[in-house]
Structure 1
Amino acid sequence: MEDLQSALSGRGLTVSTHPEKGRCLVSIRDFSPGDVIISQEPYASVPNNSSVDVKCDGCFTSSNLKKCSACQAVWYCGSMCQKLEWKLHRLECQALAGLSKNRRKSVTPSIRLMMRLYLKRKLQSEQLACNAHTICDSELRPLGTGLYPVVSIINHSCLPNSVLVFEGNEAVVRAMEPIPKGTEVLISYIETAGSTATRLKALKEQYLFTCTCSRCMKVGLDDDIQESAILEGYRCKDDKCNGFLLRDADDNSFRCQQCGLLRKKEEIDQITSEVKLLSDKASTSLSSGNYPEACAMYKMIEKLQLKLRHSLSVNLMRTRETLLKILMELKYWREALTYCKLTIPVYQRIYPIVHPLLGLQHYTSGKLEWLLGDTEDAIKSFAKAVDILHITHGRNTPFMKDLLIKLEEARAEAAYKLSPYEG
């Protein structure tokens, strides 16, 4: 513990103990938005490899990969990563090589991570407790799983002041807002785009605690009830009304809180049932790679949800996110842009001003606009993305450098289009 405190003090941090939370990471200096609070290589990590998508076990890259000749189960991008991993992988390799080909295929990333944790503890005679973190790329797509003992000290809040991102498989925690000296560093363990009840349920099931952040303490209050009804509840049946519904006293209907119109529970249950049935079929089509069929089905789901859900509904937003991904796979760029823009107002409502998902949605919008020749719009979207992502991702990362280059190229292209013709 003394070694940990000594190492952290040089970074402006200390470990404190809270009577309800246990260990906490607390700042002993001021941090500004975008500052790196802590970065850490994984104690143990494994990529999410599949038959069609493999990554280097050391750095998670997908380039120039070769299999380990002994176990035929692990991939490396070159000798450097293989040498760095060899002390641990030598033991793992012996265990994997002893399995039949079929049993080797059944070793999931979670099993491999636990195996590596056990072997590393055995090598180093260490005991530690830490949570597993999903390792994501710069666009928050899952790559693998890792154990980060120091990062695991950081507690959760549904209104976090910091964000956890990854550079390769290195965990990097950056401040999203000013963090004064003496403030606890907080990240979010879960997706926060949901009602308070949904978040509390997810945290209880996955992490076995009840969140007491300022956002969750509002559960059951009028503002929270209204927010929950908009995010996950139902809309008024009158298309001209933008009101939200709450269950009526008779328990057989819902009443609009704006115009007072009643909507029968049977009607809502019927549409909900149709959406569920279609969603199961659409998910199967999507999983099998039948994008045209999946696209048609998700559009039918969207149409039903528009009858049922508020325009700022998380459920409707998720359907549109899926349609955006499908349309990009189909290279229907103009329609993809339409769906991307439909999601942004909801993102702005449910996420803080500085949030990586909001920044990445502006980035996607910019890429689509630029591809379609809407250069001026692309510049605006890229600029909005930069305003957010330079804080969450850092200015000097390869991802941000690429985004800044795109922004400058789009500006140069716009300037060229406006310049007088020279014959």
Structure 2
Amino acid sequence: MAPMLERFVSSGKGNGLRTTTRIKRGELVYSAEPLACCVSNKLARDVCHHCFTRCETLLRCSQCKMARYCNITCQKQAWSSHKRECKCLQSLLPRIPTDSVRLAARLIFALLSPSKSSSEELYTLEEHESHLNSMSEQKKQGLSQLASMLELYLQQEVPDLAQEALPPSCREPLSLLAKVTCNCFTISDGELQEIGVGLYPSLSLLNHDCRPNCVMVFVGTKLQLRAVRDVNPEEELTISYVETLSLTEARQRQLEDQYHFTCHCQHCDTQDKDGLMLSGKESTWCPLKEALPRLEGLKAELDWQALLQGCSHLLSTVGSDVPDQNLYKLRMTDMALDASIHLGHWEEAAEYGEKTLQVYSQYYPDPHPVHGVQLMRVGKLQHYLEHIEDALDTFKQAYQIIKPTHGDNHPMTTDLLMRMEECRTEMVQQSSSKH
């Protein structure tokens, strides 16, 4: 752990992480490889299980039929961490354990063959909270079922956890799974889409704020923590555990359900954006709110045609009387954008995308990676449709955000620079062909 960070007790929050030096906006605060990680089940066929890159075609492990790799090199490098898991997966076929069970098992394998020195971690797994005492019976019940699944899954390789040379709390499947679910991080790709889950012990010290001073981005499985504002010495470092574009009540409920605390950050206590999110007459936006669960279902089923029809119909009828800032209208416009992209309706996609940009800039204080990624998506559409000047302008705005949130060397940043260069070259060619 870098000397610029230290543990401390954060008032009202328990353990926390703060800086010992002044950190500038955009600075890399810390980077870490996971103690254990795995690709999400729902993406198991699309993402390399070693380097976490999305690929059209992947090599499949001939034994467990589950793990996939982009090439032989990745497969060989993954073998040391996959070989025990491979036997466990084979023993359960055709059933596949949940992400949290697979992650907990990988964690046990990592602890049983400690290759990397975990001594420099500021926060050991033993100290991680399981929050079992504050869980509802229903949640404990769910975790108990996962714990039985974990024991069954490990049968081939670790028949008796209690006998192993593991930290005491890791010998108890229920408490281990509780720790995993409260402390794991979602690993996302450059476009912030979830691809897996991982445990980064020291970074579990980071407390939540709905307006944090740091963001996390990933390069493969490597987590990078960057400051999005200037941070003073001895100031606590914070990240957001949840998507912040939701009403205060919804954010607080999610944080209580998943992480067992009530958020009292300034953003929650002042509810400063709730009025804007509910702008317009309730009677006009209510139909949009009521339709969202059905539309989200269509999105989950990847029924893009029905999704686009549903969204565009509602947006053109009811939605025309609702301000663009309204949260439910924005969610629907975003879904219409996704559906249009999947169906290759580029003109429509660009229109929907452009509608969201003004609103995103109101909700996401810059630099915020979500706003940067949205600008980039819209810029790509404008470029494809040969609206070159618009595209260059959008890419420039994206670059102002992505550079501090992702850093100079992130693939997203280099991709953006390349696209801006392409636009400039095309504009020069256009103007010279006119003369």
Q: TM-score range by the shorter chain?
A: 0.7 to 0.9
2:256 partner letter = K
Aligned partners of 1:279 and 1:301 also within 8 Å: no
CA distance in 2, matches of 1:51, 1:153: 28
Which runs of 4 or more aligned residues in structure 1 lie more than 6 Å from their structure 2 counterparts after TM superposition? none
CA contact (8 A) 1:45 1:147 kept: yes
Query: Relative to 1, partners in 2 of residues 1:102 and 1:51: Cα closer, same or farther, differing over 3 Å?
Result: farther
Q: Where does 1:397-412 land on structure 2 (aligned, <5 Å)? A: 397-412=410-425
Give the TM-score normalised by structure 1: 0.81
Alignment CA distance shift 1:280-1:360 (3 Å): closer
Pair 228,308 (structure 1): closer, same or farther in 2 beyond 3 Å:
farther
User: In structure 1, what is the Cα distance between the partners aligned to 2:294 and 2:268?
Assistant: 35
Letter in 1 for 2:405: T
* Larger deviation, residues 302-311 vs 317-326: 302-311
Aligned position for 2:262? 210
Map Cα deviations across residues 334-370 of structure 1 (whole Å, 9 max, x no partner): 1111111111121111110211111112111211111
Q: Which residue of 2 aligns with 1:88?
A: 81
Pick one of 61, 77, 82 that aligns with 2:70.
Answer: 77
Deviates more, 1:294-303 or 1:29-38: 294-303
> How many Å separate the matches in 2 of 1:274 and 1:412?
43
The equivalences for 1:145-294 within 5 A come to 145-219=197-271, 224=272, 227-231=273-277, 233=278, 235-236=280-281, 272=286, 276=290, 278-279=291-292, 281-294=294-307
Could you report, residue by residue, the CA deviation over 1:106-149 in whole angstroms, capped at 9, with x for unpaired residues?
Answer: 32222211221222233349844361111110110111111111
- Residue of structure 1 equivalent to 2:147: none
Q: Please give the secondary structure, in 1, of the residue aligned with 2:308.
A: helix
Preserved CA contact (<8 Å) 1:38 1:151: no
Aligned partner of 2:169 in structure 1 is none
Partner letter of residue 404 of structure 1?
L
Which has the higher relative contact order, 1 or 2, with Cα contacts under 8 A spaced 6 or more apart? 2
Aligned-pair CA distance for 1:38: 0.7
- Please, what TM-score do these two structures have when normalized by structure 2? 0.79
Of 362, 382, 399, 2:375 maps to 362
CA RMSD in angstroms, aligned pairs only: 2.5
- Go from structure 1 to structure 2 and tell me whether the alpha carbon gap of 1:415 and 1:274 turns closer, same or farther (over 3 Å shift): closer
User: Are the equivalent residues in 1 in contact too, given 2:44–2:68 (CA < 8 A)?
Assistant: no
* Equivalent residue runs for 1:105-144 within 5 Å: 106-124=96-114, 127-128=125-126, 129=128, 131-144=183-196
The structure 2 residue matched to 1:42, chosen from 34, 37, 44, is 34
Alignment partner, residue 394 of structure 1: 407
Q: How many residues matched?
A: 372
Distance 2:204 2:43 in 1: 31
Distance in 2 between residues matched to 1:207 and 1:132, nearest whole Å: 11
Greater share of helix: 2
For the 8 Å contact 1:135–1:144, the answer to whether it is kept is: yes
Q: Which amino acid is the alignment partner of residue 74 of structure 1?
A: A
Structure 2 CA distance, aligned partners of 1:187 and 1:391?
15
Which of 386, 391, 406 in structure 2 is aligned with 1:373? 386
Q: Which runs of 5+ in 2 are unaligned?
A: 119-123, 129-178
Who is 1:299 aligned against? 312
